[in-house]
Amino acid sequence: MSIDKELREELRQAADSMQCPPDLYGRVRQSYQHYVNEKRGRSPMKKCMLAGIAAVAILIPSAAFAASYLADDIFGSSETIEQHGGTQEDYQAMEGMLQAAKGKLTEDEFKEYTELTKQLMQLKLQITDENGVKHEEKLTKEEQQQFEQLTSRLAPYFEKINGTAKP
């Protein structure tokens, strides 16, 4: 046998022959119970996790409401559309289209797209009355030409956004 095994065996025999006083068992048990109870009382990980979940549950919806709409850059606000016979659904549809454009166009393309769309919408708002009826005869010849130029310049962007562009 090696010296380590012999020493271990001797120590085990000595430990088996020892008798511990009964009050020592009681103190060790009491100390262990105190440690377990203290550990149960504090659970910092659970508290941090709950605080994080609560923060996320509050912040995400508030961030969604606080986010500026892309359509506000074009119309100013949803009230502008409503004054011209549009609805909140029309405004949300325009916002969805702008969000899709932002995802599919490059940054420079998106800037040009929004500028062209803004000009086109200003012309459309000019010819639309409070009932939502378009009166194209309100446009001057120059405005009609500008309207046609804007729609032709926007056509490739619409194709790219809708996925009908040819590669």
d(CA 59, CA 135): 45
Rg (CA), the chain: 37
d(CA 101, CA 162): 9
DSSP designation for 77 = S
Percentage of the chain with pLDDT > 90? 5
Residue 119 scores a pLDDT above 70 = yes
How confident is the prediction for the chain on average, in pLDDT?
76
**Largest Cα–Cα distance of the chain, in whole Å?**
113
Rounding to the nearest 10 degrees, give the CA dihedral for residues 158, 130, 92, 112. 40
Contact 139, 127 (CB under 8 A): yes
Q: What is the DSSP track for 60-76? A: HHHHHHHSPPHHHHHHS
Which residues make Cβ contacts (< 8 Å) with residue 133, sequence separation at least 6? 85
> What pLDDT sits at residue 5?
92
> What pLDDT sits at residue 167?
45
> What pLDDT sits at residue 10?
92
Residue 128 phi, psi (nearest 5): -100, 130
d(CA 110, CA 123): 20
pLDDT tens per residue, range 94-111: 777 777 887 888 888 888
Contact 58, 66 (CB under 8 A): no
> What pLDDT sits at residue 66?
47
Residue 64 scores a pLDDT above 60 = no
- What does pTM read for this prediction? 0.49
Rounding to the nearest 10 degrees, give the CA dihedral for residues 91, 96, 99, 101. -100
Residue 130 phi, psi (nearest 5): -70, -15
